[in-house]
Structure 1
Amino acid sequence: METPTLTRLTDASAPSPAPLTRKQSRTRLVTAAAVGNALEFYDFTVYGFFALLIGKLFFPVHDPVGQLLLAVASFGVGFFTRPVGGLLIGMYADRAGRKKAMVLTLALMAVGTAMIAFAPTYAQVGIAAPVILVVARLIQGFSAGGEVGASTTLLLEQAPANRRGLYASWQFASQGLAAMAGALTGVCLTSALSPAQLESWGWRVPFVIGTLIVPVGWWLRKTLDEEPPAAHAAEKGKAPKVPLIDVLRDHRRAVLTGLGLTIGGTAAHFIIVFYLSIYGVKMLGLPAWTAMLSGCVSGAILFVLAPVGGYLSDRFGRKRMAQMTRVLLMLAIYPAFVALNRWPSATTLLATVTVLSCVHGINIGGVGAMLGELFPRSVRATGAAVVYSLGVAIFGGFAQFFVTSLIVLTGSTLAPAWYVIACGALSLVGVAYMRESAGTALD
């Protein structure tokens, strides 16, 4: 596989650095692009796993279900600022460059994560505690909204035409690796610490770790090479002053189809990877370590199979792979929840997570490339970021809150399955209207 050599732009007076090999350039590109997304989902994973404890410490509601609802709502509140971040940072990436936008998103994510790590509890500062927590989640959401658009478009634009699916798939593979790391951290902490220690300081450790990862990601992104966007704009003779106007005026079909694609994938992702751990503890009565182990399994599978899905989308077509795997997941999700409720055990939970994650991992492998290929380069970061952040904000960030509320309202423990099926049907509609672009020239 031939990987394009990136041009390093340096000051004329500065000493010339040793050139990177093709393998080093490819590794640095993928790592730098994926690290911010990984940090985001690492934080989301540990937040989800400690949602019950966070609810107890920050939301003084006597009803355990009420505490859970408030905790998952604070998890989802960050998704309110995702579309805003997607819009503003996406336009910044299209005007100033993907690299500058990626450095900005990582800095904002670091601030939000550090705020959670050192936030005082309700017992310490009263109502200010949940306010600090919510503000931190809003900052993280703003950052995450622009992260996917900037980093995924950089991967797409540097990849060979017949490997774009594989390159872009590492964004979602990094989510799996982050989920696995977050779950392992949770398992280790709950196994090594007493409940009192976890409540006192142990729950902060994962967020401190997330903050300490930032300098590595910062260095990778600051030293990344990128062709200036102005050079490509001058070559093509077009440089929109407000990319959002071009997206809404000239690419309405791409926006609608991209939203449809995002809805199904993000609903399935947040239910399978994040909510099943809470579901296992709260609804099935399984021990916390067993539920966290399901997060490890799911994350490991996504890390391995997302690149496989990206490769298959390059070889057999993204549209075909997206349709096949989406239908398979819709067919599997309902009997999976029936089995969980009929035979509630660690074995059933892990088997269910394994099967669902395998199908989901193949499905999301080609999604990053599909979203980026919907838009031309001049508005690609803006279009992809807005579409992705809107879909995730509505159908992913509040997925846990929606299904928890549905279970309370309907009394049916199968509500999560119906939610995934409904979102999957909307996704199939969006995919049906997409043009196949695997292997074609990228503007």
Structure 2
Amino acid sequence: MHKSTRLTLLGTALGNFFEWLDFTLYGFFSTAIALTFFPPGNPQLALLATIGAFASGFITRPLGAYFIGRYADAKGRKAALILTFMLMGGGTLLIAGAPSHASAGLLGALCVLLGRLLQGLAASGEYGAAAAMFIEVAPPGRKGLYGSLFIVSTYLALACGALLAVLVYSLLGAAATEAYGWRLAFVIGLCIVPFGLWLRAGMAESQAFSQARRQPRQAAAPIDWQAVLVVIGLTSLGTSSLYLSMIFMPAFAKAAFDIAVLDTSIATSLACLIVAASVVLGGHLSDRLGPALPMFGGLAVILLGGLPAFGVLLWHPGMGSILLFQGLNGVGLGLFVGASFSSVCNLFRTRQRALGLGLGYNLGVALFGALAPLVSTAALGYGIHYAPALYLLLTALISAAASRALLGRAPSSSTCETLP
């Protein structure tokens, strides 16, 4: 592999890692943020309001996917990836520096809301441009494996975010973390921004995009909305499983079972590593055997293993049952996402790839990811602890239908053509 190709893949993956680390810190410190920016006296209402602010980051995601996706398809993947990193840094700065409710009333909550909106814009533009760059640069015949490395960078960011939460809670204690310590994690995220910008400034542009750009410009073809719907359906399971079994689990376990956030953060970091390993396996198998077997195998692990494990968690709440639920969902999720990623690239041409992938992914996240913690938190208030399992079942069925549609459109081999 050429040196410039390796640097481009590295810059894209590391930049994606840093962005998702900043984006997901909010979820791991949601309990502390709730106590900082909302009136005391009703912790459940404060948590629901905090999760609502978390979900607000999804409101801008379809907008960011559209505008930044079009920008990436017109001006280049590199330019879009630098823009998303700057937006993520601005959003993280607003959250880290927001004044508390005790000192400024609702002003701090408004700063947090604006910060989440900027982070949502960054995250939405990041996926389409970064996924397009990775798929177009990866060598033929190994796009499943190399594409899986892009996804792995996301889950490693989640694992590091969880470990960072563990470190802060361990060193400072719960009281100090809830008072000011959570801000230190966001400051660490801010310190990474200059390095990420330097990495991405040194990347080469995608050769496939450069070739397509040199061709005579024709009338813009309409976006393939059927393909976008397939991506939305595929995203439904991945995003609901991610937010329910990984990011939201510390807050859910604390509210439902009074299990310490520190303990569940450790379990979450281990589960994220399980997902990362399973993603690589899914991508490798898709290169060797085609995507169908690992995709439907992953769905089967979630339906036959992950959902029953949630029942075990309800009957015997504790660290062991939490890790069992997260681990089984992680294996299924990793196989499914790792195997499907490279096939999705066949759904869009080069000059529509960032827009098409970004729109499908972010509409799926906005529809299913934002609702997952909101529905579960609201149901928890009524004593309905099994709501996350029902939600996962619904999204698994949707993703199964989308998988059949994807495999019906794409070749059985995961070799990705880079169409102009």
From 295, 316, 321, the equivalent of 1:322 is 295
Whole-Å Cα distance in 2 between the matches of residues 371 and 440 of structure 1? Answer: 9
1:168 deviation in Å?
Answer: 1.6
> Does the Cα contact within 8 Å between 2:87 and 2:119 map onto a contact in 1?
yes
Report matched runs for 1:253-264 at 5 Å.
Answer: 253-264=226-237
From 391, 396, 399, the equivalent of 1:424 is 396
CA distance 1:224–1:296, shift in 2 (3 Å): same
CA distance 1:106–1:285, shift in 2 (3 Å): same
Corresponding position: 1:398 with 2:398:
no
Whole-Å Cα distance in 2 between the matches of residues 339 and 234 of structure 1? Answer: 54
From 143, 162, 173, the equivalent of 1:164 is 143
Whole-Å Cα distance in 2 between the matches of residues 212 and 239 of structure 1? Answer: 43
From 231, 245, 256, the equivalent of 1:283 is 256
Report matched runs for 1:367-406 at 5 Å.
Answer: 367-406=340-379
| Corresponding residue of 2:320 | 347
Corresponding position: 1:333 with 2:309:
no
Whole-Å Cα distance in 2 between the matches of residues 134 and 429 of structure 1? Answer: 35
Q: Percent identity?
A: 33
> Does the Cα contact within 8 Å between 1:333 and 1:421 map onto a contact in 2?
no
Letter in 1 for 2:160: A
> Does the Cα contact within 8 Å between 1:240 and 1:246 map onto a contact in 2?
no
Whole-Å Cα distance in 1 between the matches of residues 322 and 289 of structure 2? Answer: 32
From 49, 54, 60, the equivalent of 2:39 is 60
What SS does the aligned partner of 1:162 have? coil
What SS does the aligned partner of 2:175 have? helix
What SS does the aligned partner of 2:141 have? helix
> Does the Cα contact within 8 Å between 1:34 and 1:170 map onto a contact in 2?
yes
> Does the Cα contact within 8 Å between 1:322 and 1:366 map onto a contact in 2?
yes
> Does the Cα contact within 8 Å between 1:102 and 1:151 map onto a contact in 2?
yes
| Corresponding residue of 1:14 | none
1:292-312 Cα distance to aligned partner (Å, 9 max, x none) = 111211122223222221111
1:353 deviation in Å?
Answer: 1.9
| Corresponding residue of 2:410 | 436
What SS does the aligned partner of 1:433 have? helix
1:234 deviation in Å?
Answer: 5.4
Unaligned runs of 5+ in 2: none
> Does the Cα contact within 8 Å between 2:101 and 2:109 map onto a contact in 1?
yes
Corresponding position: 1:132 with 2:105:
no
- Provide TM-score, normalisation by structure 2: 0.94
1:112 deviation in Å?
Answer: 0.6
| Corresponding residue of 1:96 | 75
| Corresponding residue of 1:268 | 241
Corresponding position: 1:194 with 2:173:
yes
> Does the Cα contact within 8 Å between 2:14 and 2:153 map onto a contact in 1?
yes
Report matched runs for 1:42-57 at 5 Å.
Answer: 42-57=21-36
Whole-Å Cα distance in 2 between the matches of residues 273 and 178 of structure 1? Answer: 12
1:209-243 Cα distance to aligned partner (Å, 9 max, x none) = 111111111111111111577742356544555xx
CA distance 1:42–1:239, shift in 2 (3 Å): farther
Whole-Å Cα distance in 2 between the matches of residues 287 and 325 of structure 1? Answer: 30
CA distance 1:426–1:191, shift in 2 (3 Å): same
1:26-58 Cα distance to aligned partner (Å, 9 max, x none) = 542222112333233323432112111111111
1:252 deviation in Å?
Answer: 2.3
Whole-Å Cα distance in 2 between the matches of residues 442 and 230 of structure 1? Answer: 9
> Does the Cα contact within 8 Å between 2:300 and 2:332 map onto a contact in 1?
no
What SS does the aligned partner of 2:194 have? helix
Whole-Å Cα distance in 1 between the matches of residues 236 and 338 of structure 2? Answer: 15
> Does the Cα contact within 8 Å between 1:276 and 1:291 map onto a contact in 2?
yes
From 119, 124, 130, the equivalent of 1:145 is 124
Letter in 2 for 1:420: L
Letter in 2 for 1:293: I
Unaligned runs of 5+ in 1: 6-19
1:57-114 Cα distance to aligned partner (Å, 9 max, x none) = 1111522211111111111101000010000000000000000000000011011111
From 20, 33, 46, the equivalent of 1:41 is 20
What SS does the aligned partner of 1:246 have? coil
Letter in 2 for 1:274: I
What SS does the aligned partner of 2:353 have? helix
CA distance 1:195–1:329, shift in 2 (3 Å): closer
> Does the Cα contact within 8 Å between 1:41 and 1:179 map onto a contact in 2?
yes
> Does the Cα contact within 8 Å between 2:136 and 2:208 map onto a contact in 1?
no
Corresponding position: 1:175 with 2:154:
yes
Whole-Å Cα distance in 2 between the matches of residues 259 and 300 of structure 1? Answer: 25
> Does the Cα contact within 8 Å between 1:90 and 1:385 map onto a contact in 2?
yes
> Does the Cα contact within 8 Å between 1:97 and 1:228 map onto a contact in 2?
no
Whole-Å Cα distance in 2 between the matches of residues 433 and 76 of structure 1? Answer: 29
Structure 1 window deviating more from structure 2 (279-288 vs 151-160): it is 279-288
| Corresponding residue of 1:13 | none
Structure 1 window deviating more from structure 2 (66-75 vs 44-53): it is 44-53
Letter in 2 for 1:82: R
Letter in 2 for 1:111: G
What SS does the aligned partner of 2:248 have? helix
Corresponding position: 1:297 with 2:276:
no
> Does the Cα contact within 8 Å between 1:277 and 1:294 map onto a contact in 2?
no
> Does the Cα contact within 8 Å between 2:138 and 2:146 map onto a contact in 1?
yes
- Provide TM-score, normalisation by structure 1: 0.89
1:367 deviation in Å?
Answer: 3.5
Whole-Å Cα distance in 2 between the matches of residues 108 and 184 of structure 1? Answer: 24
CA distance 1:240–1:179, shift in 2 (3 Å): farther
| Corresponding residue of 1:10 | none
CA distance 1:368–1:61, shift in 2 (3 Å): farther
1:144-179 Cα distance to aligned partner (Å, 9 max, x none) = 111010011011111122111112212221111111
